[in-house]
Amino acid sequence: MHQTVQIKRKIMAKNLVIVESPAKAKTIEGYLGKDYVVKSSFGHVRDLAKKGVAIDVANDFLPNYEVSADKKQVVAELKKLAKEAETVWLATDEDREGEAISWHLYETLNLQKKETKRITFNEITKTAILKAIDNPRQINQELVNAQQARRVLDRLVGFELSPVLWKKVRPSLSAGRVQSVAVRLIVDREKEIIKHATESFFRVNGIFSSKNGKIKAELSKQLSDNIQASELLYACKSAAFKVGDVQKKPATKSPSAPFTTSTLQQEASLKLGFSVSRTMSVAQRLYEAGKITYMRTDSVNLSETAINGAKAEIEHAYGTNYSKPTKYTTKNSSAQEAHEAIRPTDFSAHSITGEREDERLYDLIWKRAIASQMAHAQLERTTIKIVTDAIDEVFNAKGEVIKFDGFLRVYMESNIEQEENEEDEVAEDGLLPAVEVGEVLNNDEITATERFSRAPSRYVEASLVKKLEELGIGRPSTYAPTISTIQKRGYVEKVEREGDLRSYQVFKLKNQQVVDEVKTETTGKEKNKLSPTDIGIVVTDFLQEHFDLIMDYNFTAKVEHEFDEIANGMLKWTDMIHQFYDPFHKNVEDTLENSERASGERELGFHPVSGKRIIVRIGRFGPMVQVGDEQTDGEKPQFASLQKNQSIGNISLEDALELFKLPRSLGEFEELTVKANVGRFGPYIQHGKIFASIPKEESPMDITFDRAVEIILLKREADANKIIKIFSEDEDYQLLNGRWGAYLKVGKNNFKLPKGTDAEKLTFEECKEIEASQAKPARKSIGKAAPKAKAKPKAKTATKAKAKPAAKK
């Protein structure tokens, strides 16, 4: 009875509030009274139609929007509630994406202007929600148009560029306005690394004893080779060292500005090891739970309320001398709208209770925000110069002492053990013993160690975000999706490198004896670094050759600036699209007509027996080695796929020849030959009709017979668990367990089962009915077929919901 009354109350509520997510809806509903019902749209309710380009190019780029199939029920429920409500409050996020969601809701639900109010807030607290209700506005069409321009431009670029890649490089490839430039950054960095020529030098460090303690110091210059290093140490054997100078200078250490999206992603990567997408997922949860402000922002600004809240908490927790209210300004002139930096909604909450990753990210955000409003740390920096008549160079020892900790107090009280250890280590290393000018020092030990110049580092996700932001490419809402996309598309991958052993020379002077020894170290060890794949390099080179404007960093940044101008009402969005599209479309047609195919082909040499030419290139299913050429040799060439750790750029002739030793016959099991091979989907074991994948950390070149049998048995067990039922009437009809639940397989086609169906109870006749009821298979056995390439999107009349180009204010 109580439940019925509750449902009736909600349906008859005077006010309907619509937000994007259920978690956000739940938090907001707790702040509003019985006259409000809060519902979620579960993100966008409509988008550009999936079929075709969905943009009428001839009709001023009129978009053709449609409600996605999975949102029809949501839309139907919202329409019903909107009709019953007196006022509909669109409370989606405050950025362009959120504004566009509100506009799509307005259009799709057929809302009336006088009954619809748009509200925004950058934190989900009772105060912020009630303030927003008191200050409603209309939908900002300029913000909508900026998002619409981005969506239309990206669809046009993807729709026209991708077929070029299908024809000129390989089927099923894709290109995008921002994603292709992001891949270019990674490809360019890889080329820099390959070009880098390592040079060695010697770094000299000494340990000296004074009457008050030991001093660690470094020689003022690096030495170019082992001859110089040896000569210097021999010169120091009988040298007398003394303190040549002592300088003490006051210094201050300033706190960093509060987090923006990109700086949060960078710090969470560095301190917590979070990926960019994981950081955004956790931050979203914290925002929707009312713990932090909106997490997609490029502003470092804090509101007066926030500054006052931080001031009160600092004075309460640490004392008035620790408080220094500070206003930060955003250096980026194109920072979107008047957003705040990411901060806690309640500065008095030093920590939260919840999921471990939520607690850790909140801790990071709270410290950064509170520290930004605290006094600078006061330091005393000391430099001791150690001299001798035996050499021209001096040894420098540097240290610092904290006179007043200021904002560092927050980090010294850390709950994270690692940070505590870091602070202890810094404090200990910063101390230098008290010495006087002219004081004689004992030379305990001097070491000259060979070091090497470093190639530029490969990007991690967070450093790529930093670079994109520096170049003005993308915005806070696009960083994480861009980085996910380029990895999903196979253009970029995270490669774990074990590194290589390297020898280095060390000269050590101790007890008046110079010892020369050779040591080894591992260099090049990497984890979670972004590397371009072969196809990523080939596609990038092709696009740079034929679409240099799209791939230009400055041009991409200029487009972002134009989106900002649209958002500010200074540029009509369709004019901006026209200016871009007309020359771009001509470029596409010219490339389709006149360019050569790109395969990244590289000649490795000639076969030692047949004398046939051996090349490595991109094939239909990925990078491969080819022996011979049908036109030259009159015979069909041989092919072999590259292994996981090989690439077009680094494979040698010897390694390429090894690949043709596959398939390897490992022995017989149950009277059938067991083979190891590499195929379209990677390395595998074959045993009769069984094909079992070899785990990625293992190689078909050295896998043993016993291990292969183990893989075969595991595959059998997995297949047995997959089968629910095979029908004796026709063995092509099978009920199987899949990744998304039970399904019907008929021959090579898969069919969805009706919701709530018990697969084990289905009869053969019922399965035939399911097959007949679905005109097309729900899912092909190997992915979806790529749509046919189109050179030019045809203008068509939008039959679904149409977007009217908005008039300027």
Q: pLDDT digit string (tens) for 204-246?
A: 999 999 999 999 999 999 999 999 999 999 999 989 999 999 9
Place of tokens 């949060």: 264
Which is nearest to 435 in space by CA: 573, 257, 248? 248
pLDDT at residue number 798: 37
| 204 strand-pairing partners | 448
Q: Answer whether residue 739 shows pLDDT above 80.
A: no
Q: Answer whether residue 449 shows pLDDT above 70.
A: yes
Q: Answer whether residue 200 shows pLDDT above 70.
A: yes
Q: How many helices (H) and strands (E) does the chain have?
A: 23, 31
Residue 99 CB: number of other CB atoms within 10 A?
26
pLDDT at residue number 51: 87
| 385 strand-pairing partners | 245, 396
Q: Answer whether residue 532 shows pLDDT above 90.
A: yes
Q: Answer whether residue 2 shows pLDDT above 50.
A: no
Torsion sign, CA atoms 103, 104, 107, 110: negative
94-108, 243-257, 343-357, 635-649: the lowest-pLDDT one: 635-649
Three-state DSSP class for residue 398: strand
Task: Specify whether the CB–CB gap between 703 and 666 falls below 8 A.
Answer: yes
Q: pLDDT digit string (tens) for 750-800?
A: 998 988 888 888 999 999 988 888 755 444 433 333 344 444 444 333 334
524-528, 552-556, 601-605, 799-803: the lowest-pLDDT one: 799-803
- From residue 579, give the alpha-carbon distance in Å to each of 572, 574, 585: 11, 9, 11
Which residue intervals of 336-396 are DSSP H helices?
A: 356-371
What six digits make up the tokens of 544?
Answer: 């740079």
Percent of the chain, pLDDT > 90?
65
- Burial letters for 478-496: b for 16+ Cβ neighbours within 10 Å, e otherwise? bbbebbbbbbebbbbeebe
Q: pLDDT band at 660, cuts 50/70/90? A: confident
Q: pLDDT digit string (tens) for 321-331?
A: 999 999 998 77
Please compute the mean of the pLDDT values over residues 298-304 and round it to a whole number. 92
Please compute the mean of the pLDDT values over residues 401-422 and round it to a whole number. 68
Percent of the chain, pLDDT > 70?
91
Task: Specify whether the CB–CB gap between 104 and 68 falls below 8 A.
Answer: no
Q: pLDDT digit string (tens) for 566-584?
A: 999 999 999 999 999 999 9
Q: Tell me the average pLDDT of the chain.
A: 87
Q: Which of 375-384, 417-426, 624-633, 743-752 has the highest mean pLDDT?
A: 375-384
* Higher-pLDDT residue of 635, 363: 363
What does DSSP assign to residue 494?
E
Catalytic sites, residue numbers: 294
- Those residues whose C-beta lies under 8 Å from the C-beta of residue 401, and which sit 6 or more positions away, are 379, 380, 382, 430, 431
Q: pLDDT digit string (tens) for 352-361?
A: 999 999 999 9
Residue 671: Cβ-neighbour burial (10 angstroms; 0-12, 13-18, 19+) = exposed
Q: pLDDT digit string (tens) for 56-113?
A: 999 999 999 999 888 999 999 999 999 999 999 999 998 899 999 999 999 999 998 8
What six digits make up the tokens of 682?
Answer: 């990677």
pLDDT at residue number 239: 93
Torsion sign, CA atoms 191, 192, 196, 202: negative
